[in-house]
A and B are shown apart, each in its own frame.
Chain A
Amino acid sequence: MSAPTFLGLPTAPRGVGHLRGDEPFPVAARRALADTQLRRNLGKATRTIRAKRAAVVGELPDWEELRDAGQAIKAGAMAHLDRYLEQLEEQVTARGGVVHWARDANDANRIVVGLVRATGATEAVKVKSIVTDEIGLNDALAAAGITAHETDLAELIVQLGHDRPSHILVPAIHRNRAEIRDIFLREMGDVDPGLTDSPAALAEAARLHLRRQFLSAKVGISGANFAIAETGTLCVVESEGNGRMCLTLPDTLITVMGIEKILPSWDDLGVFMQLLPRSSTGERMNPYTSMWTGVTPGDGPQQFHLVLLDNGRTAALADRTGRQALHCIRCSACLNVCPVYERVGGHAYGSVYPGPIGAVLSPMLTGVEDNASLPYASSLCGACYDACPVKIDIPSLLVHLRARHVDEVAETRRVPSPEAVTMAAASWVMASPARYEAAQRGGRAGRLLGRGGRIRRLPPPLSAWTSARDAPAPPAQTFRQWWRTEHGDTGHGDTGHGHGEHGETR
């Protein structure tokens, strides 16, 4: 198989939504790393969730088989995505829902704004949803004079704090309870001024604040965790019950869903209901699972609209290696185990999808050139792959996207980058034993830089290394020189066959 062909399918458009950062990852990370409160909050939170997840995953004897099943179901769904989407549309329509197809964020925002306007409402309550944040729906609604109220506790904290989400599951993970109390006191007009920072008091304040909105809202807006093609059923998985309020109380429900959320059959859901809660909150089962199919007269919303969003997903699907990023079920297990995420937090990634999966998914949706620093925001330690409930090989995808980036840069630049020149030169040197050994001899000039066997300062770009680490000075003798001294010089050549009859044995 040759390199994946880029078919030129549309990626997520610029200027709308939240898939692109304002600055490259290393710059944003540098600032985040200096925030000691953030480091403390993230370290504490991720450590807690990691331990909970490990405990509930460890008690399942068939966890690996479940992961295999999850992976297989997702791969099957992606392979026949066109068919399943049309089936979903058919089923939703037959049960009284209306399906809308949105090519990108602008399309989806226009559709949702139009639907809310048609109800005459100027307010909407929202279920926690990353996809509506991906497309910047709240901004689009605000521009149309419609106020969107976030009702998930963490999303509410983010919204009231004029902040950005920093975690897929726990958008306010970067805040501690003292900071949350300050935000509530400052922004929640109706709050008790004697509010303490006890979790119960904070939850009660949010409950009172939100209850009024649930009871008055005419429009609810949600995302979806799963959509079942064979029945047209939508599913939202949550912890607080606030989502269910939004899904059941308003007269109109608008669900925005990325097209990759589809599952072929009802049976498939059983696999994911075992995988998702354990991987995300570290619970055997989440407290609230809401499922609805079209419209039921006299019960729940009487208008149901489903907006199917592409926004770069078809472009991702066209990348045969990269497409497995679309298998993601947004559990956030990879964030919680990632040593990079744990230290820099979600904002440094500049996208609503942070962490290891975000470093893959965001560039896939926007095109690598718009998120070029993200595939490098990983040490490739592999903890994410081990934690992923659908076995997305994130480290391999990161390498794949680095290769895509390198190839794209090589195609567009008239003069190769200094890095590309260095890599090409290193390849040329390393492909030949003679050149390699000559380079080793040259490198031994580095001994002049060293004192006591270590080098304290190297020139750029290696100065980034010696900013915090000593570098080893080259030894008096390389290994191969030692071997030759001990075993005699049998020579080498560029033929590439140093072994066999010509090889040395002792």
Chain B
Amino acid sequence: MRIALFVTCLADTLFPETGRATVRLLERLGHQVEFPAAQTCCGQMHVNTGYLRDALPLVRHYVEVFEDCEAIVVPSGSCTGSIRHQHAMVARRYGDEALARRAEAVAGRTYELSELLVDVLGVEDVGAYYPHRVTYHPTCHSLRLLRAGDRPLRLLRHVAGIDLVELPDADTCCGFGGTFAVKNADTSTAMLADKMRSVLDTQAEVCTAGDSSCLMHIGGGLSRLRAGTRTVHLAEILASQPQTSQPGPPEPHPPGPHTAGQAGAR
């Protein structure tokens, strides 16, 4: 299958290994990945901060870049959620019904990574190997906007060598919420503290999720505390192979190219 990657502006700019891992994984499964170079940002931050008018050009841009693609994969639950639940709404708010319909059509072919793998490609065992103790944070938008359910966990349970441990209070928000983490930093920090306590209670070395933004938040807190637990995107675990998977370093290092095992460290 030809699959277009919408890597998201965050992963493109700050967490490129997430994108690289998505490409490696899908190619290993025998699919063609393309990267429409004109892509930028889905506009979620603008919408969720109330700047819907400023989001409109970004909605239009996403639609124009991706509307000829047969399937689009996004390694982010919240960006997929924004594309699926907000793009048409933004277009309609400013009276562009034609754009709203096009946005709905593109959104219908836009999938979060675990949705693409399980629902579209029909695979749960992706042949990954990841010999680490891992806990999974479901992220609010994957859970409640996309209803991704246990798809990510089904994928993780098939990973060879993994020691998957359940996260207590998993469905509670980590406190990121985009600009919420800045506008309401104290409340966000209190939520983060409880999430980190849950993560650390599992004694996992890795906390994973399907969204770089939530991982940036949880990972930023864990890193500040020198907690000894790192965050790794789901795509990187699913892309891992025996030859690339090594024990990660306890402290974050900037991810470089072709260092799959380590690159998850934030």
A interface with B by C-beta (< 8 Å):
1-3, 25-26, 29-30, 33, 39, 339-340, 343-344, 375-383, 385-386, 396, 399, 401-407, 419-420, 423-424, 426-427, 430-433, 436, 440, 443, 447, 450, 452-454, 456, 461-462, 464-465, 467-484, 487, 490-493, 495-500, 503-506
Contact = CB atoms under 8 A, between A and B. Distances in A.
A396 B49 CA distance: 12
User: DSSP class of B's interface residues: helix, strand, loop or mixed?
Assistant: helix
Interface stretch (B159-167, B172-180, B199-207): B172-180
A382 B190 contact: no
B52 A498 contact: no
Contact of A423 (B14, B46, B253): B46
28 contacts: A26-B183, A379-B188, A381-B177, A382-B144, A383-B172, A399-B48, A399-B86, A403-B50, A426-B54, A427-B43, A433-B37, A452-B252, A453-B266, A456-B224, A469-B220, A470-B221, A472-B14, A474-B14, A479-B11, A479-B18, A482-B20, A483-B35, A492-B38, A493-B38, A499-B65, A503-B34, A505-B34, A506-B27
Interface of B: 2, 4, 7, 9, 11-20, 23, 27, 32-41, 43, 45-55, 57-58, 60-61, 64-66, 68-69, 85-86, 89, 92-95, 140-141, 143-145, 171-173, 175-192, 194, 216-217, 219-221, 223-224, 251-257, 265-266
B223 A470 contact: yes
A33 B36 CA distance: 45
B192 A430 contact: no
Given A464-B182, A479-B11, A499-B69, A402 B50 contact: yes
Nearest to B45: A426
Given A406-B51, A476-B256, A479-B20, A468 B15 contact: no
Nearest to B221: A469
A472 B266 contact: yes
Contacts of A376: 179-180, 183-184
Given A340-B191, A344-B187, A478 B12 contact: yes
B17 to A, nearest CB: 8
A477 B49 contact: no
A317 B187 CA distance: 31
Given A477-B257, A478-B12, A505-B32, 7 more contacts: A381-B177, A468-B221, A469-B192, A470-B223, A474-B13, A475-B255, A499-B34
A479 B16 contact: yes
A497 B182 contact: no
A76 B203 CA distance: 52
B81 to A, nearest CB: 9
B4 A499 contact: yes
B75 to A, nearest CB: 10
Contact of B254 (A378, A419, A424, A453): A453
Contacts of B37: 433, 480, 483-484, 490-492, 498, 503-504
A471 B181 CA distance: 12
A427 B46 contact: yes
A465 B220 contact: yes
Contacts of B65: 496-499
Contact of A472 (B12, B58, B216, B224): B216
A245 to B, nearest CB: 40
A469 B34 contact: no
A439 B32 CA distance: 29
Contacts of A447: 254
A423 B49 contact: yes
A116 to B, nearest CB: 41
B186 A29 contact: yes
A225 to B, nearest CB: 28
Contacts of B18: 479
A423 B39 contact: no
A506 B190 CA distance: 45
Nearest to B141: A382
Contacts of A478: 12-13, 16
Given A26-B187, A475-B255, A440 B12 contact: yes
A487 B187 CA distance: 44
A469 B195 CA distance: 13
Contacts of B223: 454, 469-470
A334 B43 CA distance: 27
Contacts of A3: 93-94
Given A452-B253, A476-B256, A379 B50 contact: no
A474 to B, nearest CB: 6
Contacts of B185: 26, 464-465, 467-468
A367 to B, nearest CB: 16
Contacts of A452: 251-254
A171 B88 CA distance: 40
Cβ-closest 8 pairs across A and B: A379-B177, A498-B38, A402-B50, A469-B220, A381-B173, A464-B185, A427-B54, A453-B254
Contacts of A487: 35
B88 to A, nearest CB: 12
B19 A479 contact: yes
B145 A469 contact: no
Contacts of B32: 505-506
Given A427-B57, A499-B4, A473 B34 contact: no
A117 B224 CA distance: 63
Given A430-B9, A465-B181, A475 B58 contact: no
A340 B192 contact: no
Contacts of B216: 471-472
A4 B11 CA distance: 35
B191 A468 contact: no
Contacts of B86: 399
A87 to B, nearest CB: 34
Contact of B191 (A339, A476, A491): A339
A452 B224 CA distance: 12
Contacts of A498: 36-39, 65
A482 B51 contact: no
A453 B257 CA distance: 14
B13 A443 contact: yes
Contacts of B183: 26, 376, 464
A470 B9 CA distance: 19
B50 A378 contact: no
A210 B110 CA distance: 61
